[in-house]
Amino acid sequence: MSDAVLDPQELEAIQDAIRESAPRKGVNPSDPEPTRLALIANDRIADAIKPVLINLATRWTRRAGRALRSQLPGSWQLDVVGAEAIDGAAAKEELRGGWIAAGKADDAEIVLAVHGAVIDIAAARRCGASEPTAEGSRPPSAISLRLFQPVGRAMLDSWGAAWQEMFDRELAVSNDLSIVSRLIEAHTVVRIAVAFSGALAGRVQIYARPETLLPRPAALAAIKAKATSIANALSTVPVELVVELGTLRLPLSKLRSLDPGATYTLPGFVDSRVPVYCAGVLKAWAKPVVCRGVLAIQIISVVHGQGAQS
C-alpha cells in the first residue's frame, strides 16, 4: 500500500461513514449497545508507572544503604538496574527460592523479593562469622531465610519510608498471602530490579500490579461500523500495485561485472502469467500485453479472498 497520507476529503469520508453507523436517538432499544474497548489498558498503565517506580527505587537505594550498613559486611552499594513489564507466571518463577515480603498502602500492593548470596552472607554475619562467604548459585536454606528476616524487614521498612516521602501515604508490612497470589495470577506485573555490587552479590526485586498503583484509564467506546460504509469510504484511497515480470538470481561476481548491453534470460516466457502484489500481498495473476503501444497487463484471475471474485 502507498505511504501517502490520507487527504482531508478521504478522512472526512471515513468519519462520515462511522457517524452514519453510530447509534442515534430514537433507535430501536433492542439494538446492541456500544461495546467497551480495553486497548490493553494494563500495558499502558505499566508503561506509565515504570518511570515513577524507578524514581522511587532510586530514593530507596539511598535509604536502604544507610539502614543495612551495620547488618551487611564489606563495601557494597545498591544500583537500580531497570524496570519492565512481565506476566504473573514469570513473576511466580522468579519468586522461587528467595526471601519474600509484602507491603500494602490503601489499595496499592507490592511484593519485595531478595535472591542471591547476600541472604547466606547476612545469615552468617548474624551467626558471628567475621568474613562470611556464600555461593550465589546455591539456593538459600530455610535457616538462612529465617536468619535473613531482620535484614529483609529493614529493606521493606526503608522502602516504606521512601514510599511515604514520595506518595505521602504509609506503606505497611502485610502478612496477607493473597497479595502474592493476586500478583502471580495477574496478566501484567511491573518489576523493578535492584542489584548489589562490590563485596556483596545478590538482587532485590519489587513487583506490583500496575492497576493498584495508577488508576485504570476509562475504556474507549467502540461502535461497530457498517462494513459497506467503510469499504465505500476507502474505495477512493490510492494503493500501489507491483507487477513482477520476472526475477533473476546472480552470483555477486557477475553482479560486479555488469556491463551495458548484457542480456540475461528471465525464467518465464513472454506469455507466462505474472503475479500482482499490493503491499506485498498477492492479489491477482495477469499476463503481459501491449495496449496502444504501452506495456500493460490483463488480469487472468483474482486470488481468492483477496479481491473481487474472478
Q: Residue 6 domain-assigned?
A: no
CATH of residue 294's domain is 2.30.330.10
Query: Residue 47: what pLDDT?
Result: 84
Q: What's the CA dihedral at 107, 108, 109, 114 to 10 degrees?
A: -160
Q: Which residues pair with 111 in a beta bridge?
A: 102, 207
- Asked which of 165, 195, 213 is the last residue of a domain, the reply is 213
Q: Of all residues in the chain, what percent carry a pLDDT higher than 70? A: 79
Asked if residue 83 and residue 143 are part of one domain, the reply reads: yes
Distance CA 310, CA 307 (A): 9
Residues in the chain: 310
Residue of 182 and 12 predicted with greater confidence:
182
Asked if residue 257 and residue 180 are part of one domain, the reply reads: no
Per the CB < 8 A criterion, the answer to whether 201 and 117 are in contact is: yes
Instruction: Tell me which range, 115-124, 137-146, 219-228, is most confidently predicted by mean pLDDT.
Output: 115-124
Range scoring the smallest mean pLDDT among 92-101, 122-131, 158-167, 181-190:
122-131
Closest CA to 191 of 118, 136, 110: 110
The confidence band for 57, taking pLDDT boundaries of 50, 70 and 90, is very high
| Beta strand pairing call for 35-37 and 108-115 | unpaired
Asked if residue 205 and residue 107 are part of one domain, the reply reads: yes
Residue of 258 and 207 predicted with greater confidence:
207
Arithmetic mean of pLDDT over the chain: 81
> HSE of 211 in the Cβ direction (CA atoms, 13 Å)?
12
Query: Residue 308: what pLDDT?
Result: 47
Query: Residue 2: what pLDDT?
Result: 43
Range scoring the smallest mean pLDDT among 30-34, 142-146, 183-187, 215-219:
30-34
CATH of residue 208's domain is 3.40.1550.10
Once rounded to an integer, what is the mean pLDDT over residues 136-160?
Answer: 88
Once rounded to an integer, what is the mean pLDDT over residues 38-59?
Answer: 79
Asked if residue 174 and residue 85 are part of one domain, the reply reads: yes
Distance CA 208, CA 49 (A): 10
* pLDDT at residue 28 tops 60: no
Query: Residue 153: what pLDDT?
Result: 93
Query: Residue 36: what pLDDT?
Result: 44
Element housing 3 (H / E): none
Residues 6+ apart with CB under 8 A from 240: 1, 2, 278, 279
Query: Residue 140: what pLDDT?
Result: 86
Element housing 231 (H / E): helix 227-234
Query: Residue 37: what pLDDT?
Result: 44
Q: Residue 228 domain-assigned?
A: no
Distance CA 224, CA 239 (A): 25
The domain of 75 spans: 41-213
Asked if residue 133 and residue 178 are part of one domain, the reply reads: yes
pTM to 2 decimals? 0.57
The confidence band for 261, taking pLDDT boundaries of 50, 70 and 90, is confident
* pLDDT at residue 274 tops 80: yes
Q: Residue 20 domain-assigned?
A: no
Query: Residue 15: what pLDDT?
Result: 62
Per the CB < 8 A criterion, the answer to whether 116 and 194 are in contact is: no
Residue of 222 and 135 predicted with greater confidence:
222
Asked if residue 246 and residue 135 are part of one domain, the reply reads: no
Q: Residue 234 domain-assigned?
A: no
**Cell, residue 4:** 501517502
Number of separate domains in the chain: 2
Query: Residue 112: what pLDDT?
Result: 94
